[in-house]
Each structure stands twice: as structure tokens, then as C-alpha cells.
Amino acid sequence: MSHHGPGLPPGVQPGTEPGIKAGEGDQTGGLDAMLDSVLDHAIFSVDLAGTITDWNIGAERLTGYVAHEVIGQPIDILYPPKDQANERPALALQMAREDGRFEEEAWRLRKDATRFPAQTTVGRVIGPDGSVAGYAVVLRDLSERMQAAEALHLSQELFRRFIDSVVDYAIYTLDLHGMITSWNAGAERIKGYTAAEVVGRHVSTFCTEADRRAGEADRALAEAATVGHFSAECWRVRKDGSQFRASIVINPVFSSDGDLLGFVKITRDITDRYAMEQARERAQQAQKMEAIGHLTAGVAHDFNNLLTTIAGSVDLMGRYSGDARVGRLAETVHHAIERGQKLNAQLLTFAGRQRQRPVLTDLNGLIRVFEALLERAVSDAVTLRLDLDPQLDAVLVDQGQFQSAVLNLVVNAREAMTKGGTLTIETRNVTLSAEEAAALGELAAGPHVAVAVRDTGAGMSEAVRQRAVEPFFSTKPPGLGSGLGLSQVHGFARQSAGGLEIESRENEGTVVRLLLPRAAVEPKPAQAGLARERPAILLVEDDPEVREIAAEALEGSGYQVFAAEDAHQALSILQRGVPIDALFTDVVMPHGVDGVELANQARALRPDLPVLLASGYARETLRTLDAAHGDTPFIAKPYRMAELQRVLRRLTQRPGAKEPGEA
């Protein structure tokens, strides 16, 4: 580089690396040629005072200065005024002198006063005597790299602004552990959380309680990491606790080396679309069931006519034939006809054509009346459990059809538990929102009574659950079951202005919930003198076998029976205003309130309520009722059913009322 200036101080040879000791001998010719061939780096030397002493062609091209313009000038001319004022050039030389090397990326000046980003490397040069003789400086123009970085930054900023401007999609990022690391405006709008509220929290924050327990969020991330993608439709929870139907997509983010860095998750609110699809499916299902109902009703009508013809013909054959064998055959045919009639009744119930006789009913009492029958309907390996709400509202239902529906559900549940398990009958008061009522069919929103039969059996697939109430649909082998059990329950629910809900998963059991509207009218006391179809007896007996036998005998004699196992249940029925014509109670009962005290409290609620006491003790040994009520009828245990019916008939007969069993 000697033709560009006086060169380095005498006796000092420039090293190719700043900060190294100069070699002996004159090698400047070859070195000058090599340095002048470097065109993309400015390489020059500076003496101890900071004055430029040498200048290569690359420095000329980079800064615009030719050698004679800068040699002898301080290095400061390459620094912006602010750096000059802060004595940045002198600091760079000082640090190179002390440490052997100084390096930084900063702005430098060209001859035309324009700035350019540069990487500056300053190295000290050691003379022959071992002292610092000067400095070698290398400048590299970083303009292209900075432009690329700025372009990348601009692209990232534009992308960030684009993501933030998307309000119809929740777009956010997660780290390897599922913790939220970014949050866009769409996520805030859909989920209700601000970025400050969720960044750093786990993505399961938005899952339902059931999904959190099942670890659905971690499972989704694991699948995305393994397969490369995860997508699903599911329910998610907003900040205010409300749920929405979500379409979610999760994609993994990898580094250039293939290392997993985290995840990008996109969530879309599809609640409206989902509601429309569900409404369309319900409408299609309703139309299908209506069409099947019409067909079923027609078949049942014709089938009933055939049974009538067969029954009449068999009767005539038996009458005109004196052959005993014909009589036995006729009896066999009659049994077959009876089975056909039961099948026909199920068809009519599904089709909504079965005649109903709804009465105001306490479902808890009705369930307890035939609890023993339900016990016999399940196998020894199945445990039957009752979970009855003591404050259950009254409903208007046909009691016989209700019992048949519950029995059908219990039998279905038993058959689903081939290895045994627990079968639970639950009753609850529920209030349906408009959305919940619409999801179950044409129910009215408002208060309902729910009767659920819950099993721990095999459960159903979604495809089977969708078709479960169709008549003759069955997953059982041919010849096992008619496929009309759930159809009958569904038809009974519809005809009772209620609905049927089925929840089931394979290997997780099934819950079939019968929903009946709460009685819309306030029940009136029995003593109001209203003529009812059957007199109502409130039977109170703590012994379940005695209670069952008495209830069955009274039901068979034409009475409507409300059964209670103790005074507390009996008073609950009376307090709800259920019409009762007579109280028939055992005297000796557990839980502190005996039959005498129950009668006193019952008459405090309904002064004209007839009471019949029963006990295995002699009447004289029992304490008396309040004197105001006079002599109270009493029947000794064990009593004959005929005697019981005779006393109750006298107590319940009122003007306008029908005799028990009267058509």
C-alpha cells in the first residue's frame, strides 16, 4: 500500500491480523498488493496519536475518500459527530491498546457525510522492541445485512400486526409445555381474556372440567408434536364461564435444525354453525320419527284388528267344541294373543296413540311402590340403588305407563351390565333453558322433573345412541328383545309433553334421563270434593315387604297409592298438596315420629283427612289421638286384604266419587 501513503512507522511491518508482532525484513511489496486486492473491506493503519497512516483500495471504495485525503487525518473523520463528542474513537484505540483488540458494530461516515453500518475491528500493532507501535483497523460494511435484518423485522412486524388485526380467530403460541406465550385480539374477543391475564398460563385454562380431568390439552399437544397436526371440534370455556363450540387446530413449530420450539394454536368459534347443524339434525330426526310413528300406528291398528278376530274365533271354537284338547289349544292361543296385545301397546305408546290417564303423582312414592319388582328385574350381580330427591315436584302422568317405562329402562340397563355393576335410579328437579329444551325436542323451557336410570355397563357408540329410540332397532342377537323398549319410553315421554335424553360412551356406561314437566296447576286437597278417577291412599309402612304387598293389593283393587316408608316422606307428600283421600299408616315406625303423631300432624295440615291406623299391638295399649278427632278407625295386624279394602272403601266414599275398580 506504499503508493497510497507513507506507510507504517519505520521498522514496523503490518501484520495480517491486528495485534500481532511485525516480522523482520521488508515484505511490504507483497503485503501491499494483497491488501489492495481486498475490495469489500476498508483496511488501514493508525499511529499512536490516532492519525491515519495507510489506506487501501477497499477503504477508498467503502468511504469515498482517496488515500491523500485521509492520510494524516485523525480517525475521527469516520465517526458521526455524536461519537466524536463522546470521544468514541480515542476509547476504541485505548481499549485495543489495553486488550489487544476492540470490536463493535456502529454507524460510520462516508466522505459525502452519509452514514453506513459497519463492523469495526481495531488491533494493536507491536513494534520490534515489543512496544505498541500503532493500530490496524478493518471496517466491514453491514448495510446489506442490516437491510436484510430490517426487512425481516418489517416482515415480522407486518405479520404480527396482521395476526393482531384478525378478530374472528384466536391465534396464539405455546411453549413446549403448553404455556401461552402470545395472544392476539381475536383470542381476547372470543375467550374474554386479555393477554396479561393468560400469557404464562396453561392452555388447559380454556378446557371444560371433564376435558381437564381427562388431560385432553396435553394429549392434543402430544399428537401435534408426533403427527405434525391436530384438529378437533369440542366445547371450550370463556372467562365468564360460558361455553362455546370451538374448531381448534394445533401445529408444531420447529427450528431449522428440526428441534421442536413450541406450537401455534388457532381457535374458531363455531357455536352458531353448530347450533344450526344440530337444529337441522333434530328436525330431520323428528320428521323421521314422525313418519315411523304414523307407520307404526297404522300397523298397530291393523294388528289389533287381527288379534280381535283371532280372539273371537278362538272363543267360538272353544264354545262349540266339547273336546278338552281344543280347549287347551284355545288357552294357548289366548296366551299368545295377550303377548301380542302387550306388543301392540308398546307400538301404540311409541306412536303416541296409547290412551293415557294422567294423574297428579309423586314419582318418588310411585317408584318405591314397585321397588321390589325392580329388585327382581335385576340380576344378583347388579346392585340397585335409589337416589330420590325428597323435595321432588309433582307431575301429571299415567302411572302405569310411567312404571312400564322405568321397568324398560331398568331391564335395558341390566342387560348392558353382563359383568355386574351398579344401577342407580335418580330423581331431581331441573329447570331447562330454552336451548336445553330445544335440544331435547319440542319441550317447553322451565321446571321439569328428571328421572334418570344410570348404569355402569358397556355403553353405546355414538352411532347406536343416535338410533336407540327407533322401533325394532336392536344390537341384540336375533330373537332376543323386540327393540321396542326405548321406543316405548320415548313415546311415553312425548305423549306426556316431556322428552328423553341419552348420554353414553362405550365402556363408560349409560344414563337415560326421562324429563317430565312439573305439574302446572296447584294440586287441591282431597277434601275439596272433586270427583277423581280413583281414590288416593297415602300408605305409610316401614317394612318394605308389607308395604309392597299392601300397595299391590290396593292398586289391584282400584286405588291410587302413594307409598312412604316413614312419617317424614308422608308429610312431604301432604305438604306438596298431592290429593289424598285417606291416610293408612302403621303405628309403630322408626325415626322418632310414630303413626299416631303422623296422624295428628297430617290432620293439622288437612283437618278432614280420614285416617286408618294399623298395628300388631292391641289398640288399648296405644296412646290415643287428639280428642278433637274422635274415634279413629283401627285395623289389627295381620289384617286380611278384604277387611282393609272394606274399611278404606267406607273412609274414601264421597259424593260423586267412583267405587274403587268401577269403570
pLDDT in tens, 382-404: 999 999 998 899 898 888 778 87
- Beta-strand ranges (E) seen in 421-554 are 421-432, 446-455, 499-504, 510-517, 536-540
Instruction: Note whether 61 and 67 are within 8 A (CB).
Output: no
Which value, to the nearest 10 degrees, does the dihedral of the CA atoms of residues 356, 370, 654, 528 take?
-80
Measured CA to CA, the distance from residue 363 to residue 9 in angstroms comes to: 112
Length of the chain measured in residues: 663
pLDDT in the model for residue 332:
75
Which set of grid coordinates corresponds to residue 285?
330426526
C-beta of residue 452 within 8 angstroms of C-beta of residue 511: yes
Rounded Cα distance between 307 and 315, Å, is 12
- pLDDT at 244 (0 to 100): 92
pLDDT at 656 (0 to 100): 45
CATH topology assigned to domain 166-269: Beta-Lactamase (3.30.450)
Domain boundaries, the chain: 2-141, 166-269, 275-351, 359-517, 526-652
Confidence at residue 12, expressed as pLDDT on a 0 to 100 scale: 41
Q: Which fold has domain 2-141?
A: Beta-Lactamase (3.30.450)
Residue 11: per-residue pLDDT = 39
Strand partners, 538: 562, 583
Are 166-269 and 359-517 in the same CATH fold? no
pLDDT confidence of residue 312 = 62
Per the CB < 8 A criterion, the answer to whether 651 and 549 are in contact is: no
Give tens-digit pLDDT for 122-136.
Answer: 999 998 888 999 999
Please give the pLDDT value at position 481.
45
Q: Give the helix/strand (H/E) hosting 585.
A: strand 582-586
Residue 468 identity (one-letter amino acid): A
Are the CB atoms for 362 and 389 separated by under 8 Å? Answer: no
Positions in the chain whose pLDDT score sits under 70: 1-38, 151-152, 154-167, 279, 281-309, 311-322, 324, 327, 334-335, 338-356, 441-442, 468-485, 520-533, 590-591, 616-631, 638, 654-663
Class of domain 359-517: alpha beta
The single-letter code of the amino acid at 161 is R
Burial letters 297-334, b for 16+ CB under 10 A, else e: beebeebbeebeeebeebeeebeeeeeeeeeeebeebe
Q: Rounded CA gap, 596 and 615, in Å? A: 11
Amino acid 125: pLDDT:
92
Helix (H) or strand (E) holding 485: helix 485-495
Q: Would you say 602 and 611 are in contact if contact means Cβ atoms under 8 Å apart?
A: yes
CA 363 to CA 591: how far, in whole Å?
23
Q: For 17-54, what is the HEC assignment?
A: CCCCECCCCCCHHHHHHHHHCCCCEEEEEECCCCEEEE
Amino acid, single-letter form, for residue 76: D
3-state class of 359 per DSSP?
strand
Closest CA to 358 of 490, 500, 532: 532
Nearest CA among 193, 181, 187 for reference residue 167: 187
Are 496 and 488 contacting, i.e. CB atoms less than 8 angstroms apart?
no
- The pLDDT value recorded for residue 315 is 64
CATH 2.40.50.100 fits 526-652, yes or no: no
